[in-house]
Structure 1
Amino acid sequence: MEYSLAMTFVTTSGDKASLTITGVKNDISQAEVSSLMDTIIAKDIFLTKGGTLISKYGAQLTQRQTTKFNVQ
């Protein structure tokens, strides 16, 4: 199974901006997610239409399972 982490931030204009990372470990903790989001904000390397990322809004871990069929 594949896991992805979707993080939502508030920008300087008050809008929300999301960033998704795939290939995340399935047992990532809330503390690790919070720390990652703090680091992303502190490094200030992303610029969106609404400006820079200034605060955390939310995050969610999504699990995706793919089933392949042999139809030959």
Structure 2
Amino acid sequence: MPELPEVETVRRGLQPVLEGARLVKVEARRPDLRFPFPERFSERLTGKTVTALGRRAKYLTMHVEDGPVLICHLGMS
């Protein structure tokens, strides 16, 4: 599990690239998750713009136009 400084370093590295970027293709590759992705997850995000990339504790938050917020955990092991 990454420590807080590593998560912040990743956020700072991704922020200039992702903020303002358009999501061209979204793939949900893990159908076996305990909490599956919502219906039409990929369709609903494709073509949207990332408005902000933040961090809450050890999670990255990707804010997308029209309101969705993706919560990402680096999950290293």
Higher RCO (C-alpha 8 Å, min separation 6): 1
Write 1 or 2 for the structure with the bigger share of helix: 2
TM-score, with structure 1 as normaliser: 0.33
TM-score by length of 2: 0.32
Between Structure 1 and Structure 2, which shows a larger proportion of strand residues? 1
